[in-house]
Structure 1
Amino acid sequence: IGSGASNNWVVSGARTKSGKPLLANDPHLRIGTPAIWYLAHVALERPGKATANAVGASLPGMPLIVLGRSDSLAWGFTNTGPDVQDIFVEKLNPDNPREYKTPEGWRLFAVEEMKIAVKGVGERKVERRRTRHGPVLPGFYRNLEALLGAGHVAALQWTALSDDDTTIAAGLFDPDMRSVGDYMERMRQFAVPMQSMVLADTSGKSA
């Protein structure tokens, strides 16, 4: 276990003087520039209904409150360290390096061409290959080219790269989520990253 760690905890309302739960969350991420987190307030105005609010910490570019609370519910996350990645060594076709071996025979890599603007240099084109297992890792990464030898590449399979990942949908603020039970049901859609979650609501319940 490394020296770094995060922590969170929650106390049920049944154990507090006020009858309301207490929740604390500290992700222990480094301070830097640009900042990892920014504080945000989401206010949803709905015709005929009271404005629903959520406040807390979010990540740049993410349309959700990652750590925070609504008017009736609070939530927190910390990272965990499960095994959710596998590396597959793929054999290249010696007659066509754009193919790799599968149980059904040789298959073409799926290739995506990306254009990256580099300041002072101009546009650079990069090809990203993908196998049935996942994206091909570059040969310079962890000295893979030397480790695997000619005729082989490594592909990464990771839950975060799944085509059916619904994590963003799970994290979008839903003003109708008012209880621990509501949030836990919504989190059935949560896939990655692996997290330790704590919850509390104004009725005194916690999880």
Structure 2
Amino acid sequence: TKGSNVFAVSSSRSEDEKIRLAINSHQPWDGPFAWYEAHIHSEEGWNMAGGLFPGSPIVLVGHNEHLGWGHTVNAPDLVDIYELEIHPDDPYLYKYDGEWKQLKVKKVPIKVKLFGPFSWTFKKEALWSIHGPVLRGKYATYAMRFANYEDIRVIEQWYRMNKAANFEEWQSAMQMMAIPMFGTGYADKDGNILYLYNAKLPLRTEGYDWQGVLPGNSSEVVWTEYLPYEDLPQVLNPPSGFIQNCNNTPFTTTTGNGNPNQENYPDSFGIESRMSNRALRAMELFGKDISISAEEFEQYKFDLHYSDDSYMSLFVDRLISLSHNFEDDQLQEGVNVLKAWDKNTDFENINASLPIISFGWFMETLPTDVSDENLIESFTFAVKYLYNHYGKLDVIWGKVNRLVRGNVNLGVGGGPDISRAVYGIPTKEGYLKGYAGDAFLMMVEWGKDGEVNSRSIHQYGSNTQHETSTHYADQSKLFVKQKLKPVWLKLQTIKENLEHAYSPGNK
């Protein structure tokens, strides 16, 4: 994934006193981790609409009549590497707390296809220590330990979240902590909103470099306990009336009181400290509007601007500061384009193409990790790319930024680390082909009567690979125009709008 957004506002911050939730996970547009939209309705209290990946038996993000949630990718430190001290005369013994321990050994069958109908099953040695799985290197032997590897209840937890009818039931499912990561934004018809930094955080001994390779001969660095659910960073019903997360630090989830205290969480947890552009803009927009209308809520989700504090703004300003030595006329013209850019990524913007092609690659890289040489090289590439294909630099962004699906080729606004996220790859034809970003999107609201209403959109219509399918790209025109379609949750409404019905095993 390239990122995700989740926003929720309570009735206290809504102009019409409705509770609203935006579920906006950013995923690849194609492949096994591209979204399908689904609705599961049973006669046993399971009525869930949302997004899932191929093969998933449950909805991963979405809503039922009572509540809904979205996930964002977080980056807690869940894995540690240990160097084992191996016995000089026996490669299957390792030292641990002053004693030599025996590695567990198992032969694992691996079936390999050779050619045609022929295959062969090879057996490879698998090793295991107290720490976890073991890998032998040329010069050292290492063991890995990763959080929650022993918990197989992930699907059960999501299933219980699907069927929850209120916050208490949903929170009970989350307290299983079988899902070892993913930030989670939540809202329900009773007016609750929540952001939870969901993570199975190991309780580590202080005084070690947990970012490096650890000594494997001491139990002092082999953690066995985790931070309890109630102590995770979380924001429940803040006085501000809104929460947001856009792959940013949980310590800036909302305005005013209610944010988690960063001092309560040691660096060994690996909790993020950065703010993405999407998070900066969410705080600027939601944080300054005390009475958010339905139109504004949607507008903020589809925001097209870079913040003055974003990485993009830093890279643009830095390139301009380096330009005094430029002798190439095209590069100097490019600097003038950067100076004229309003940091907007709307379809008609004539100054967005150059900075995004130049610096869009670096949106997830710390500015201190991008050298001046890298910055100038990427800027030069972008200048030459636009001149080679268009003969100019002020090219309308929608002509360059494209959604391509079979014979469908559509211009689209947005860009890397924009709330309306679109990530593209330069092609030999002279446009950026979108490959990830805004994909399945769901906007959910509950009124005073507790009735749910939602709309959704998919970048294509379906993740099917069959070009003959009616839904291969039937939503793409709506998607590029930032439009959504209704979600029908009631069985009677579904029947009234049914395209096709079938029972497994029957034609």
Shorter-chain TM-score category?
Answer: 0.7 to 0.9
Contact 1:180 1:206 (8 Å CA) reproduced: no
Distance in 1 of aligned mates of 2:9 and 2:132: 41
Match of 1:16 in 2: 14
- Note the alpha carbon deviations across 1:143-200, whole angstroms, 9 max, x for none: xx3xxx2xx3111111041x24643332224665112332123211124432211111
Q: For the structure 1 residues 94 and 7, does the alpha-carbon distance in structure 2 shift closer, same or farther, using more than 3 Å as the test?
A: same
1:190 to 177, 181, 187: 177
Deviates more, 1:87-96 or 1:173-182: 173-182
For residue 76 of structure 1, what is the aligned residue in structure 2?
A: 70
Normalized per residue, the structure richer in helix is: 2
Could you tell me how far apart the structure 2 residues matched to 1:175 and 1:194 are?
Answer: 18
Which of 102, 106, 121 is the aligned partner of 1:108? 102
Instruction: Call closer, same or farther: CA 1:69–1:86 in 2, change over 3 Å.
Output: same
What does 1:35-46 align with in structure 2 at a 5 Å threshold? 35-46=33-44
Cα RMSD (Å): 2.4
Q: CA deviation at 1:134?
A: 0.9
Contact 1:37 1:57 in 2 (8 A): yes
Q: Does structure 1 conserve the Cα–Cα contact (< 8 Å) formed by 2:151 and 2:178?
A: no
Rate the CA distance shift 1:18–1:84 in 2: closer, same or farther, 3 A.
same
Q: Which residue of 2 aligns with 1:29?
A: 27
Would the aligned equivalents of 2:6 and 2:23 in 1 still touch at CA under 8 Å?
yes
- Secondary structure at the counterpart of residue 113 of structure 1: strand
> Aligned partners of 1:193 and 1:45: how far apart in 2?
31
Amino acid aligned to 1:76? G
Alignment check: 8 A CA contact 1:65 1:173 kept: no
Q: For residues 45 and 111 of structure 1, what CA distance do their matches in structure 2 show?
A: 48
Q: Aligned pair in 2 of structure 1 residues 116, 38: CA closer, same or farther (>3 Å)?
A: farther
Tell me the residue number matched to 2:141: 153
- Matched with 2:187 is 200
The SS at the match of 1:170 is helix
Distance change >3 Å, CA 40–CA 56, structure 1 → 2: same
Change (3 A) 1:159 1:192: farther
SS of match in other structure, 1:115: strand
Tell me, what secondary structure is at the counterpart of 2:27?
Answer: coil
Per-residue deviation, 1:65 = 1.6
Q: Pick the aligned partner of 2:86 from 92, 95, 99.
A: 92
Please tell me the residue identity of whatever aligns with 1:7: N
Deviates more, 1:81-90 or 1:26-35: 26-35
Structure-2 change in CA distance of 1:171 and 1:106 (3 Å): same
Q: Secondary structure at the match of 2:190?
A: coil
Question: Is the 1:112–1:128 contact (alpha carbons within 8 Å) kept by the matching residues of 2?
Answer: yes
Q: Is the contact between residue 157 and residue 179 of structure 2 (CA under 8 Å) also seen in structure 1?
A: no
Tell me which amino acid in the other structure corresponds to 2:147.
T
Preserved CA contact (<8 Å) 1:64 1:173: no
Displacement of 1:104 after TM fit?
5.1
Distance 2:174 2:33 in 1: 27
Deviation at 1:204, TM superposition (A): 2.7
1:7 offset after TM fit, Å? Answer: 1.8
Distance 1:29 1:181 in 2: 30
Deviations 1:13-34 (A, max 9, x none): 3322443321113222222224
> Given the two structures, how large is their TM-score scaled by the length of structure 2?
0.35
Question: Please, which runs of 5 or more residues in structure 2 have no aligned partner?
Answer: 195-507
The higher-RCO structure (CA 8 Å, 6+ apart) is 1
Consecutive unaligned residues of structure 1, counting only runs of 5 or more, are: 140-144
Distance 1:62 1:134, change over 3 A: farther
Relative to the length of structure 1, the TM-score reads 0.78
User: 1:119 Cα deviation (Å)?
Assistant: 1.9
> Does the C-alpha gap of structure 1 residues 89 and 184 become closer, same or farther in structure 2, counting only changes over 3 Å?
same
Tell me, yes or no, if the aligned pair for 2:4 and 2:71 is still in contact at 8 Å.
Answer: no
Equivalent runs, 1:122-133 vs 2, <5 Å = 122-133=120-131
Structure with the greater alpha carbon radius of gyration: 2
Structure-1 separation of matches of 2:73 and 2:162: 26
Partner of 1:142: none
**Residue 80 (structure 1) shift:** 0.9
CA distance in 2, matches of 1:72, 1:28: 24
Superposed displacement of residue 72, structure 1: 1.3
Please tell me whether residue 169 in structure 1 is matched to residue 156 in structure 2.
yes
Change (3 A) 1:175 1:167: closer
| SS of alignment partner, residue 168 of structure 1 | helix
Equivalent position of 2:133 in the other structure: 135
Q: Larger % of strand: which? A: 1
SS at structure 2 position matched to 1:124: strand
Asked if the contact 2:160–2:173 (Cα under 8 Å) also holds between the matched residues in 1, the reply is no
Aligned residue for 1:23, secondary structure, equals: strand
